[in-house]
């Protein structure tokens, strides 16, 4: 059976498409030369790895260089389960072994300069890579200076855990474990747009799940910079009420909208808002964010007051720098900034460039999908799924007006789906073998 690029992209949503993707593994692992166009990819996350894998599958002649400073992949999706004690850090840490062998050149280094005129990328190790096409998939940059007192010394104590790692997610879990029963966990939600809109509210559920079992007298204060819950509001409220007594005098969760942190004090363990100072035993402040630092090096942060990158939806090419393409969280789009979107747009960009390299026009009416699961309790979850379709009048990919797929309620089955989704998308992104032994559980 054969699948062409156009047909594959038309059915890329959901578990069925992930099964279809698996049939391409043998083709993706074939490297038939490197005399074709030079493509440099910066960032080996959901977007960058997926792009590299599918470009090599669909246009093997492309010479693909992938630059990534980390020695392994750590998944932000599923990382809140580490805070709940459901999983450990090693469960969400995955190897670059297979994807690094798939590309022509794997570079374990950090990019320090990009010259879009000369079309070159330079790393901290002093190497310069010329490119015909540059793909930037660096995620986000956290703006600590927007919160008074959130300096390098404070960051040793107060963790954001919005880039999952042992120093962030792992340390925050340790802090929660060390907190006394009856203590207070203060966490913040940045102003939209930000990486993973439901992520902070899921975090509250996961930490509360741990507290309910191990520290039942403890409280969670959510300082939300937004005027209301930014994603899946009815579902999160229902979960908070069902599991954690929200809306009663004994609620474990104290939700405070329009309360953006203005300052942090690690010595006093205090978060300041424009209304009051909030003291916590453990503090988790997520600062404002913008497109990744590499996009600043390339000069492509041109949207939303210079914070995010505008793109051509048909090719994901920057609107201000020719031959530079933006994937995942850094792009200013109608999509949520999620791992699912990064994975899907990685495929879309790979498809578009494979068509361009072959002398064809990319699909004039592309489709992008997003599926986002959120854990809500010990073994329960829910999801939202959206299909973004091309709107010729707006020259944009837009969501349906009233046809989003969203759970009616949380369930244990949804948590099983969440676990399966994670393993499928990790396998797809990192080109993991079919017999790879995952340890993560829902």
Q: Where are the domains of the chain?
A: 5-141+290-364, 146-283
Beta strand extents in 43-142 (DSSP E only): 63-67, 72-74, 93-95, 105-107, 111-115, 120-123, 128-130, 133-136, 140-142
Residue 290: pLDDT over 80:
yes
Give the residue-averaged pLDDT of 266-277: 96
Cα 40 to the center of its chain, rounded Å: 21
Just give the CATH number of 146-283: 3.50.50.60
Provide the pLDDT for residue 28: 31
Beta bridge partners of 265: 270
Order of strands across the sheet with 270-272? Answer: 263-265, 270-272, 277-279
Report the pLDDT value the prediction gives residue 297, as an integer from 0 to 100. Answer: 98
**In the chain, % of residues over pLDDT 90:** 90
In the chain, the percentage of residues whose pLDDT exceeds 70 is 92
For residue 3, pLDDT beyond 70: no
- Check: CB of residue 191 under 8 Å from CB of residue 288: yes
Q: Which two tokens stand for residue 282?
A: 């453990």
| pLDDT digits 0-9 by tens, 171-193 | 999 999 999 999 999 999 999 99
Give the mean pLDDT of 194-205. Answer: 97
CB under 8 A, 24+ apart: contacts of 237-243: 238/409, 238/410, 239/205, 239/376, 239/377, 239/380, 239/382, 239/410, 240/204, 240/205, 240/208, 242/377, 242/410, 243/205, 243/208, 243/209, 243/212, 243/376, 243/377
Mapped onto helix, strand or coil, the DSSP state of residue 96 is: coil
Q: Are 416 and 379 in contact (CB under 8 A)?
A: no
- Which pLDDT does position 6 carry in this prediction? 46
Categorize the per-residue pLDDT at 352 as very low, low, confident or very high, splitting at 50, 70 and 90. very high
Question: Worst-scoring range by mean pLDDT, 157-166, 395-404, 431-440?
Answer: 395-404
> Above 60 in pLDDT, residue 10?
no
Residue with tokens 């954001």: 160
Beta bridge partners of 405: 385
Inform me whether the pLDDT recorded for 334 exceeds 60.
yes
- Residue the block writes with tokens 């993706």: 28
Given this model, what pLDDT does residue 9 score?
43
Between CA 72 and CA 79, with CA 77 as vertex, the angle to 5 degrees is 75
Structure-model confidence comparison of residues 245 and 442, the more confident one:
245
Average pLDDT over residues 418-439: 98
How many C-beta atoms lie closer than 10 Å to residue 274's C-beta? 9
d(CA 283, CA 391): 43
pLDDT band at residue 14 using 50, 70 and 90 as cut-offs: very low
Q: What SS3 state is found at 411?
A: strand
> What dotted CATH number matches 5-141+290-364?
3.50.50.60
Give the model's pLDDT for residue 424.
98
Average pLDDT value for the chain: 92
Provide the pLDDT confidence category of residue 442 given band limits of 50, 70 and 90. Answer: confident
- Same-fold call for 5-141+290-364 versus 146-283: yes
- Tell me the pLDDT tens digit for each residue of 379-421: 999 999 999 999 999 999 999 887 679 999 999 999 999 999 9
Q: What are the structure tokens assigned to 367, written together?
A: 């489709």
The number of angstroms, rounded, from the C-alpha of 316 to the middle of its chain's C-alpha atoms is: 17
Residue 35's pLDDT is 83
């Amino acid at each position: 059976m054969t699948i062409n690029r156009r047909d594959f992209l038309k059915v890329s949503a959901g578990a069925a498409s992930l099964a279809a993707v698996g049939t391409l593994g043998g083709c993706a692992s074939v490297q038939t030369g490197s005399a074709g166009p030079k493509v440099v990819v910066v960032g080996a996350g959901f977007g960058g790895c997926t792009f590299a894998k599918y470009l090599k599958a669909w246009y093997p002649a492309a010479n693909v260089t992938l630059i990534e400073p980390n020695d392994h992949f750590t998944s932000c999706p599923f990382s809140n389960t580490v805070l709940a004690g459901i999983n450990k850090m090693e469960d969400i840490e995955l190897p670059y072994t297979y994807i690094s062998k798939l590309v022509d050149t794997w570079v374990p280094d950090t990019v320090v300069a990009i010259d879009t005129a000369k079309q070159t990328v330079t790393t901290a190790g002093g190497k310069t890579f010329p490119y015909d096409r540059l793909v930037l998939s660096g995620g986000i940059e956290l703006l600590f200076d927007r919160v008074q007192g959130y300096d390098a010394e404070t960051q040793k104590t107060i963790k954001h855990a919005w880039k999952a790692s042992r120093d962030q997610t792992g340390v925050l879990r340790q802090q929660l474990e060390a907190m006394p029963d009856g203590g207070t966990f203060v966490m913040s939600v940045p102003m939209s747009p930000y990486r993973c809109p439901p992520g902070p509210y899921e975090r509250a559920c996961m930490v509360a799940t741990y507290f309910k079992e191990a520290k039942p007298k403890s409280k969670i204060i959510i300082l939300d910079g937004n005027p209301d819950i930014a994603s899946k509001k009815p579902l999160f409220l229902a979960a908070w009420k069902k599991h954690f007594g929200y809306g009663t005098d004994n609620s474990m969760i104290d939700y405070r909208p329009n309360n953006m942190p203005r300052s942090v004090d690690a010595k006093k363990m205090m978060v300041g808002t424009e209304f009051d100072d909030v003291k916590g035993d453990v503090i988790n402040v997520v600062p404002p964010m913008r497109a990744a630092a590499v996009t600043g090096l390339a000069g492509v942060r041109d949207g939303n007051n210079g914070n995010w990158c505008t793109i051509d939806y048909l090719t994901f090419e920057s609107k201000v720098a020719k031959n530079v393409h933006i994937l995942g969280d850094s792009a200013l789009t109608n999509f949520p900034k999620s791992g699912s979107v990064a994975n899907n747009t990685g495929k879309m960009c790979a498809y578009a460039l494979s068509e361009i390299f072959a002398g064809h026009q990319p699909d004039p009416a592309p489709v992008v999908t997003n599926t986002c699961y959120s854990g809500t309790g010990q073994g329960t979850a829910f999801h939202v799924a959206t299909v973004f379709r091309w709107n010729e009048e707006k020259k944009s990919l837009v969501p349906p007006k009233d046809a989003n797929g969203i759970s009616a309620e949380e369930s244990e089955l949804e948590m099983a789906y969440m676990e399966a989704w994670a393993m499928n998308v990790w396998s797809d992104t990192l080109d993991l073998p079919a017999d790879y032994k995952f340890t993560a559980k829902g």
